[in-house]
A and B are shown apart, each in its own frame.
Chain A
Amino acid sequence: DIQMTQSPSSLSASVGDRVTITCRASQSISSYLSWYQQKPGEAPNLLIYGASTLQSGVPSRFSGSGSGADVTLTISSLQPEDSATYYCQQSYSLPYTFGQGTKLEIK
């Protein structure tokens, strides 16, 4: 199975900050990487797929980059509603695997 490791596990940032979350795969996954946002009591919500393609309806302050084994999610200007846990997920090979999550808090 491909292991997905996210960093950091948690972070606290202020409104307007630029935030970056990193996901490292145990092998190359090309661009077969998605990012999800999950708020308490809700299902995960797709933000980005194909490592860098923004899902329709997702604010443009979210962006994804990278390929191979290292990919990043960037929030260019943090908003209060971005408080959530973020997960990466590889779809390069079965079984699909997820990172352990990054909990983002707003200061």
Chain B
Amino acid sequence: QVQLQQSGPGLVKPSQTLSLTCAISGDSVSSTGAAWNWIRQSPSRGLEWLGRTYYRSRWYNDYAVSVKSRIIINPDTSKNQFSLQLNSVTPEDTAVYYCARDFGGLKPWGQGTLVTVSS
């Protein structure tokens, strides 16, 4: 059974970097059949896909245009996890952030992390 466990701070100051990690159990971040995604949810934006990383003989990343200049998603094969970095955050980045595996639908999801951007 695949499980995803998120970690990271719940409060980030404006202009700083939001950093979250998603630890994988029951699968490998290097799996050639899956992709590893970050999604956020807020009352104003609803569910918003941010990006993904996946391995198909080499590593690939895809990012949403809305955050493309500020986002990095990195795999960490040594720890079997992947991370989200979102730079130069503003209060509009306040949301619940989720990681999720894409393997014929998004499942499972991490437990979610409420990240508040505030000074």
Contacts and interface: CB of A to CB of B under 8 A. Distances in A.
Contact of A46 (B37, B46, B98, B105): B105
A89 B47 contact: yes
Interface string A44-62: 1110111001010000000
Interface residues of A, number: 22
Interface in B98-119: 98, 100, 102, 104-112
Interface string B68-91: 000000000000000000000000
B62 A36 contact: no
A100 interface: yes
B106 A46 contact: yes
Interface stretch (A18-26, A65-73, A91-99): A91-99
Nearest to A95: B64
Nearest to A101: B46
A63 interface: no
Contact of B106 (A44, A94, A101): A44
B55 interface: no
A94 B106 CA distance: 14
A104 to B, nearest CB: 17
22 contacts: A34-B105, A34-B106, A43-B108, A43-B109, A44-B106, A44-B109, A45-B109, A46-B105, A48-B105, A49-B105, A55-B107, A87-B47, A89-B47, A89-B106, A91-B105, A94-B64, A95-B65, A96-B49, A97-B49, A98-B47, A100-B46, A101-B47
